[in-house]
Amino acid sequence: MAEVDAQADRRSEGIVINDDWPGYSLDLFNYPTHYSGDLDCVIIPHGVIMDRTERLARNIMDDLGDHDIVVLCVLKGGYQFCADLVERIKALSRNSNHTIPMRVHFIRLRSYLNDQSTEDLHILGAEDLSFLAGKNVLIVEGIVGTGKTMETLLEHVKAFKPKMIKVAGLLVKRVQHSLASVPDYVGFEIPNRFVVGYALDYNEYFRDLNHICIISESGKKKYKV
- Residue segments in the chain with a per-residue pLDDT below the cut of 70: 1-12, 110-121, 125-126, 177-181
pLDDT digits (tens, 9 = 90+) for 75-87: 989 999 999 999 9
pLDDT of residue 177: 65
Cα 129 to Cα 16, 71, 133, 153, 185: the distances in Å are 34, 12, 8, 12, 23
Among 187, 218, 212, 214, smallest CA distance to 44 is for: 212
pLDDT of residue 20: 94
CA 214 to chain centre: 15
pLDDT of residue 5: 42
For 17: left if phi > 0, alpha if psi spans -120 to 50, otherwise beta; the answer is beta
pLDDT of residue 12: 59
CATH of 47-111+120-193, one of 3.40.50.2020, 3.50.50.60, 3.90.1150.10, 3.40.50.9100: 3.40.50.2020
pLDDT of residue 98: 76
Q: What is the pTM of this model?
A: 0.87
pLDDT of residue 180: 58
Under 8 Å between Cβ of 87 and 53 = no
pLDDT of residue 4: 43
Buried-exposed string 170-185: b where 16+ CB fall within 10 A, e elsewhere: bbbbeeeebeeebbbb
